[in-house]
Amino acid sequence: MIKIACLFNALLIIAAPGQAHAAAGDDNFYRGKNIRIIVGFAAGGGFDAYARAIARHMGRHIPGNPSMIVDNMTGAGSRVSANFLYRAPADGMVIGNFIGSLVLQQIMGDKGIEFDGRKFEWVGAPVQDETVCALTKASGINSLDDWFASKKQIKLGGEAPGANDSDVPRVLKTALGLPIQLIEGFKGTSNIRIAAEAGEVDGGCWTWASIRTTWANGLESGNVKAIVQINSKKADDIPNVPNAIDYAKTADAKILIDSGVHAPSAILRAYALPPGTPKGRVELLRNAFNATMKDADFLAEMKKSRLEINALTGAEVDAVVKKLFQMDAKNVAKIREVLVSKN
């Protein structure tokens, strides 16, 4: 029996020498090396904050305990970094972090995109962003019913097409028929908030994590109120704020909200590897990312920094991307019309 068992084990090794070699090689590959995380936005922002925190903790979950270094590669709303990653050496030494909604922009034919989102090896996303529209008390809108009944156009601040604070108002105006006048050209959500407080706009739509932190004083005083959320499921801490998808009256409206807001929000902060990265290294980095998202020290740092963790695995990010690419031509055309049209 012992001889048979030994022979069986030997046959297993002979049958899959590549797998055994890949596992051993990948376990030793990262020892003494530096992994780069290329962030598509400037230092000091939200993307950068998440990346630097991940870099401080993820290395110890990778066999060989490599160092992790964050580099910022800005330009064109992170298109520069995404295009760079697509052409980077596929050796598992470079991880990219660009805005995931660029995948939707690719589907719509954005000429500045030189990658195929289906070919990236997705590592995971630390958070699925939740989106909310918040309006000032001075707007006169105290509920979603008030907004639907408003005789005037509600002015919302935005940056530019492709940005969450511009795309969400466009989707809501078309899908729900809300009276919205989008005022674009702001340099960031902080500028929109300042303009709202000055009465230049009525409010805006962007991530709830940002609104509840940067506009906390307004929310607590009652001068600002969350009117509607645009999420696949309601945010835990605002269960009484209505969800846009529940007010979509047609299948087309629901598809527009789901594909134009929900899916891009879920993968907004995703991490990826270049196409063709060896599967063994992809698996190691995915496992290390998942372990980091559950690491007690990492989670304590996130809590102290007020950075939310609501992670997706690499496989889950990949499923979201694939779902976006499964949209039929009619829906792609509709989303393109909505997101690139002018008010």
Residue range 25-59, pLDDT digits in tens: 567 899 999 999 999 888 877 788 899 999 999 99
For 318-339, the pLDDT digits (tens) are 999 998 999 889 889 988 888 8
Q: Are 247 and 144 in contact (CB under 8 A)?
A: yes
Length of the chain: 343
Q: Band of the pLDDT at 15, cuts 50, 70, 90?
A: very low
Structural contact between residues 311 and 295, judged by C-beta atoms closer than 8 angstroms: no
Q: What is the reported pLDDT for 162?
A: 72
CATH number of 34-128+267-333: 3.40.190.150
The answer to whether the beta carbons of residues 205 and 156 sit under 8 Å apart is: yes
> Which pLDDT does position 18 carry in this prediction?
37
Map residue 140 onto helix, strand or coil: coil
CA-CA distances (angstroms) from residue 33 to 50, 68, 173, 236? 22, 9, 50, 40
Please name the amino acid found at residue 236. D
H helix or E strand, kind and range, residue 13: helix 2-15
Q: Are 127 and 210 in contact (CB under 8 A)?
A: no
Domain boundaries, the chain: 34-128+267-333, 131-262
The pLDDT assigned to 283 comes to 97
pLDDT value at residue 251:
92
Give residue 11's pLDDT band: very low, low, confident or very high (50, 70, 90): very low
Domain 34-128+267-333 and domain 131-262, same fold? Reply is yes
What CATH code is assigned to 131-262? 3.40.190.10
Task: Tell me how far apart the alpha carbons of residues 141 and 227 are, in angstroms, rounded to a whole number.
Answer: 8
Q: CB of 316 within 8 A of CB of 128?
A: no
Report the chain's mean pLDDT, rounded to a whole number. 89
Using one digit for the tens of pLDDT, what is the confidence trace for 82-104? 999 999 999 999 999 998 888 98
What backbone phi and psi angles, to 5 degrees, belong to 156?
A: -115, 135
Confidence of residue 290 (pLDDT cuts 50, 70, 90): very high
